[in-house]
Amino acid sequence: MIKINKSVLRDKIYACWIGKNIGGTMGGPFEGTTEIQSIEGFTTPEGKVLPNDDLDLQLIWLKALEDKGAYGINSQLLGEYWLNYIPPSWNEYGIGKSNLMLGLLPPLSGEYENYWKNSNGAWIRSEIWACVTPGCPDVAIRYAVEDAMVDHGMSEGTYGEMFTAAVESAAFVVDDIFDLIKIGLSKIPQNCRVAQSVRTAVECFHKNQTWKEARERIVKENRDLGWFQAPGNIAFTIIGLLWGGGDFKKSMTIAINCGDDTDCTGATCGALMGIMGGTAAIPEDWRKYIGDSIVTIAINRGDAWGMPQTCTELTNRVMALTPQVLYANKAFNVSLTDEEQDLTGVDLGELCDSAAAKRIYSRPAWSYEIDFIHAKATVVFEGEPRISPNGQLPVKLSILSTLPEPRNVTFKWHLPEGWSVQGPGSAYLRHYYPDPQHGPTVSEFTITAGEKVEPFTRLIVEIAAPGRPTAGLVPVTVLGA
C-alpha cells in the first residue's frame, strides 16, 4: 500500500500548476526560436501571467471529468468537448477538429492528413491526468492516450503524452529523475523517436557533455522532423531537468534556452519540478512574481463557464476528483490519508512494468472503438478509409465481450442506395475479456461503393445480441477518393 498524505498531495498539485504558469510565462516570448537563448529569468512584467494553451486545454479536461466522471472519459467525449469548448484551429488542433467534423473518430481524427501529428499539442496537457492519478502511471497513460489521439492519432505526439503523463504521475511518489525517466520510457515504444531523443539526452549527461552539446545533438538527430515536434522538445525538457540538478531556476532557464517550443518546455519542466518537490521547490521570488491567477486564450469560457480563475481553485477541484478517479480505476494500492505519508510500498519494478502500456500503444492507428455496454467493437481499416465510385474498401470489426457470458451477435448494415457489404451475418463472442484465453472476435467485411460517392459517407452497422436490449450502432465513415 502506498499512503499519500492529502496535505502533501495538495501542495504538490498546487506547485504543479504554479510551475506550469511560471514556465509558460517565462518561455512564451521566445516560442519558435531556432537558436540557443540566454535568458536568466522573467522578461514579462511582474504580476502578469501570459495565457498559455498548455494549461487552458486542461481546464476543459477538468470540466469533462466533473461533467462525466472518471468512467466517462474517452476519446469520443474529449473530441466532442474540443468542438464545443476549444475555438483555436492551430496546427494539429485545427486538423483534428476538421477530421472530427468529417465524421472521423479518434484516433482516425488525429491520423488523417495530419502533418502535425508528431507535434507538441498533446504532451503539454498531461498534468491533469497525472494529478488525478498520483502514483499510478498506468492509469495516467490510459487517459493520456484517449486525450492525445484526438489530434495526434497513434504517433509521436501521442507517445509524448504517454511519456510525460507517466513521469508526472510517478513523480508524486518517486523523486529521482533517472527513475522517473525509466518509468516514462517503459510506457512508450522503445523504437519511437520520443524514446530515442530522451535516451540521447541521458547519454550525453552521463558522458559529461554540456547541455548545449546535448541540445545540438538532439537538433541534429531530429532535423528531418523539423521544429515544433515532440521528440526534440521533450528531450529539451529532460535536458533542463538533468543539467539543472534539482535547482528550479537553473532547470527552467536551461530548458527554455534550448529554444524551439519554449513555452511548452518551460511549462512542463516547471510542472514536473513542482510535483517532485512541492511549493518548497519553487523559489519564493518567482512564485510572488507570477501570482496565483490563470489567464486563458484557447478556450471558450462563455460556454465553459465556471472554469477556475486561480491555481488555488484549480487545485481544490482536482483534489476533489482524485479519490474518485483512483477508485474508478481500481487503484486500491494507493491510499489518500490524513495520516503520515508512507511511500515504502512504492515498487520501481511495478511502476516500470510495460505490459499495460504495450496493449495501449499497440492499437492500430486507422481504427476506433465503440462501446455498447455488453461489448466493444473496434473498427479497423488497413489505411486511409477512402473509396472510389464502384470501388471496394476492406474493414474489420473486432468485437470484445465485456460481460461474463458468451453470446452470438448479428450484423445488419444500413447503407446508401447502390452500396453493398460482403461478409458474415453473425459472429460468436467468447467469454468475458479479462480471461486471456478469450480475446476479441474478428470479422472481415468488404464495402463496395455505388456509382455515387460523396466527400464523406457514414455507413452504420447494427450489432445486436439475442436477449440483450442494447444494440450497438457502429458508424463506419468513409471518404471519397
Which pTM was predicted? 0.97
Q: Do 77 and 55 have their domain in common?
A: yes
CATH number at residue 93: 1.10.4080.10
Q: Do 349 and 389 have their domain in common?
A: no
Q: Do 253 and 230 have their domain in common?
A: yes
Q: Do 322 and 413 have their domain in common?
A: no
Which residue, of 339, 360, 381, is where some domain finishes? 360
Q: Which domain holds residue 376?
A: 366-480
Q: How many domains does the chain have?
A: 2
Q: Do 254 and 398 have their domain in common?
A: no
Q: Do 347 and 384 have their domain in common?
A: no
Q: Do 379 and 355 have their domain in common?
A: no
What pLDDT, on a 0 to 100 scale, did the predictor assign at position 437? 59
Q: Do 253 and 386 have their domain in common?
A: no
Q: Do 188 and 282 have their domain in common?
A: yes
Q: Do 195 and 275 have their domain in common?
A: yes
Q: Do 394 and 300 have their domain in common?
A: no
Which residue, of 360, 382, 406, is where some domain finishes? 360
Q: Do 352 and 396 have their domain in common?
A: no
Which residue, of 360, 380, 407, is where some domain finishes? 360
CATH number at residue 423: 2.60.40.1230
Digitized pLDDT (tens) for each residue of the chain, 481 residues in all: 999 999 999 999 999 999 999 999 999 999 999 999 999 999 999 999 999 999 999 999 999 999 999 999 999 999 999 999 999 999 999 999 999 999 999 999 999 999 999 999 999 999 999 999 999 999 999 999 999 999 999 999 999 999 999 999 999 999 999 999 999 999 999 999 999 999 999 999 999 999 999 999 999 999 999 999 999 999 999 999 999 999 999 999 999 999 999 999 999 999 999 999 999 999 999 999 999 999 999 999 999 999 999 999 999 999 999 999 999 999 999 999 999 999 999 999 999 999 999 999 999 999 999 999 999 999 999 999 999 999 999 999 999 998 888 899 999 999 999 999 999 999 999 876 555 556 889 999 999 999 999 999 999 999 999 999 999 999 999 999 8
Distance from the Cα of residue 334 to its chain's centroid: 22
